[in-house]
Structure 1
Amino acid sequence: MKTEAYLFTGWAGFFGVMAAVYGVFAHEPGGKAALIVAFLMSALVAAFFWTQYLRRARRPQDRADAEIAEGAGPLDFFAPASGYPLLTAVGVTVLALGVVFGAWLALIGFGLLVPGVVGFVFQYARRSDGESR
């Protein structure tokens, strides 16, 4: 994760410097906002990679002297197929259409969105395989 952390830290630094330079020389708020958001998004990803690197140490992919067999075995828990992403997407879509066409449609969208989000949150709350984190 160290390489990825350095990569996104560099991007965050680039967008931060560009946002500062653009803020000084340009008097247009759209570009400033876009560069600040790009800086914040890349800084968030960089912080995630640094946290993972510090928590899990170096992976075999990060070491030049690593053997192929060191990377064998289960990687992590991956979620099986789920209907909650589709339900959440439909809920957000209907909610957005409800903002345009009326509050009644927004309420239906909200009614679809809430179970989707709750399902996402609690989908693995009662896993029986002993891997709850």
Structure 2
Amino acid sequence: MRAEGWLFAVMTAFFAVTGVIYGFWAREPAGKAILTVAFLMSGLVALFWFVQHQRSGGGRAQDRKDAEIAETTGALGLFPARSGYPVLAAAGLAVFALGLVFARWLIICGAVVLALAVFGFIFQYRDHGDGGA
């Protein structure tokens, strides 16, 4: 997880530098907005990986230079067999995007559905059981 964190940290720095340079020379706001969002998103992912690395105590074999190949065998995590939340998230995002074009009330509906989907994604297997709400 440390390597992934550094990868996204470098991406965050790249988008920050590129955004500042582009901000001084460009006269259109779309590129500035895109680079700002890319900076924030890559920073969020980098933060996630660094926090996960701290939580695990650096216990992943891939993060240690003295690790053996045999240490990486076995279960790596919980991977659910099926979930309805990706479809719900896609529907919420589609309604949200349509709301940007057609009506403000659709934005609210899409945001609510998307928030429920993200909440479901996060907490569907909080007890690492085989299902449940």
Q: Same fold (TM over 0.5)?
A: yes
- The residue number in structure 2 matching 1:63 is 64
Alignment of 1:38-117 (within 5 A): 38-58=38-58, 59-90=60-91, 93=94
Matching residue of 1:20: 20
1:23-38 map, 5 Å = 23-38=23-38
Amino acid at match of 1:78: F
Larger deviation: 52-61 or 92-101?
92-101
Decide whether aligned partners of structure 1 residues 121 and 54 sit closer, same or farther in structure 2, where only a CA change above 3 A counts. closer
Return the offset for 1:68: 1.8
Distance apart, 1:44 and its partner CA? 0.7
- Between 92-101 and 31-40, the greater mean CA deviation after superposition: 92-101
Residue number in structure 2 paired with 1:5: 5
SS of 1:49's partner is helix
The residue type equivalent to 1:27 in the other structure is: R
Unpaired runs of 5+ in structure 2?
Answer: none
Kindly state the Cα deviation for residue 14 of structure 1 after the two structures are TM-superposed.
1.0
Identity %: 51
TM-score by length of 2: 0.68
User: Following the alignment from structure 1 to structure 2, what is the Cα–Cα distance between the partners of residues 66 and 2?
Assistant: 14
Q: Whose radius of gyration is greater, 1 or 2?
A: 1
* TM-score normalised by the chain length of structure 1: 0.68
Change (3 A) 1:118 1:6: closer
Query: How far apart are 1:88 and its partner, in Å?
Result: 4.6
Contact (CA 8 Å) 2:78, 2:128: kept in 1 or not? Answer: no
Aligned Cα root-mean-square deviation (Å): 3.6
1:89 is paired with a residue whose SS is helix
CA distance 1:30–1:51, shift in 2 (3 Å): same
